[in-house]
Amino acid sequence: MRATRPSAISDALAGRRRREVLHGDGRLFIVAADHPARGALAVGKHPTAMANRYDLLERLAVALSRPGVDGVLGTPDIIDDLAALGLLDDKVIVGSMNRGGLRGACFEMDDRYTAYDVETMAREGIDFAKTLIRINLEDPATVSILEATAHAVTEAAAAELPIMLEPFMSRWVDGRVVNDLTTDAVILSVAIAAGLGASSAYTWMKLPVVADMERVMEATTLPTLLLGGDAGVDPDETFAAWEDALALPGVRGLTVGRTLLYPPDGDVAAAVDTAAALVHPARAAVTAT
């Protein structure tokens, strides 16, 4: 299809069966797969786990087939593949916008916009936008990314396109970018990100689960999805932390990738089902019955 009928990909996107972003219980469970475009192929101790695109697509197909999975977050190449495979009916598509800060690069803090743009997403029926905002108070590249993100937020609001911001306070440590996951740092990142753009009407947050999440969620009125973080942490501890955070006001669900797509035991369906039950407990109870 890609070689002989590339227009079929746009046709598949245009012809898919769409849904409201929020319906039913008003919560969202999004599977994330935008890591490869930033050169982040590792999962846990496996440096090239996400390098095999066919394997990744099979894992995504399993995840998207599970009840309770509302959608997928990806760059255009991932979304186009899934559309061509006919896997996006009744799913929320979240378009990843800035992937320029490549993992391990000397310019990693320069998270410039290299993937989706608001105009394309509005035209092609992408349901949601997502940006990464790493804020390094000692790196001058930060201010240009803040400005670019502000423009993206303004454009998204004008297009009535929901946009989730994933902010971190970050710093250089031994030549690599490290995100500060202390409670106060996450609160500071939220305060900075929430003020970007000429309107916050369509802005959401995508935040890590850290200690004292009650204080974090008191820092914003914006609807929030929790991010899953890296694989490798004990799954039971991870699921317990998600469950506690999902009970907080303002938290609308999960956006999780590698933790569920590459679980330690290899059982993608079981990992996804566990997370889906946390986000949609009533739906899980009906399914179990």
pLDDT in tens, 71-122: 999 999 999 999 999 999 999 999 999 999 999 999 999 999 999 999 999 9
Q: What is the mean pLDDT of residues 52-65?
A: 98
- Assess whether pLDDT exceeds 70 at residue 284: no
Q: Is 7-288 in CATH node 3.20.20.70?
A: yes
Alpha helices for the chain (secondary structure H)? 7-15, 53-65, 76-84, 118-124, 141-158, 183-194, 213-217, 235-246, 258-261, 268-279, 281-288
- Assess whether pLDDT exceeds 90 at residue 20: yes
Report the alpha-carbon distance of residue 249 to residue 225 in Å, rounded: 11
Q: What is the mean pLDDT of residues 189-196?
A: 98
0.85 exceeded by the pTM?
yes
Read off the DSSP letter of residue 231: B
The burial of 18, by beta-carbon neighbours within 10 Å (0-12 exposed, 13-18 middle, 19 or more buried), is given as middle
Confidence of residue 237 (pLDDT cuts 50, 70, 90): confident
Report the alpha-carbon distance of residue 232 to residue 263 in Å, rounded: 8
Query: Rounded to 5 degrees, what are φ and ψ at 142?
Result: -60, -40
pLDDT at position 137: 96
Report the alpha-carbon distance of residue 7 to residue 10 in Å, rounded: 5
Q: What is the mean pLDDT of the chain?
A: 94
Confidence of residue 249 (pLDDT cuts 50, 70, 90): very high
- Assess whether pLDDT exceeds 60 at residue 260: yes
* Cross-strand bridge partners of residue 264: none
- Assess whether pLDDT exceeds 90 at residue 230: no
pLDDT at position 286: 60
- Provide the 3-class DSSP secondary structure of residue 42: coil
- Assess whether pLDDT exceeds 70 at residue 125: yes
In this prediction, what percent of the chain has a pLDDT beyond 90?
A: 91
Q: What is the mean pLDDT of residues 49-74?
A: 97
- Assess whether pLDDT exceeds 90 at residue 56: yes
* Cross-strand bridge partners of residue 226: 207, 254
Q: What is the mean pLDDT of residues 33-46?
A: 94
Give Cα separations from 35 to 39, 46, 103, 185 (angstroms).
7, 14, 10, 23
pLDDT at position 233: 64
Pairing of strands 203-208, 176-180: unpaired
Of 125-129, 204-208, 230-234, 243-247, the one with minimum mean pLDDT is 230-234
Report the alpha-carbon distance of residue 237 to residue 227 in Å, rounded: 15
Q: What is the mean pLDDT of residues 243-257?
A: 95
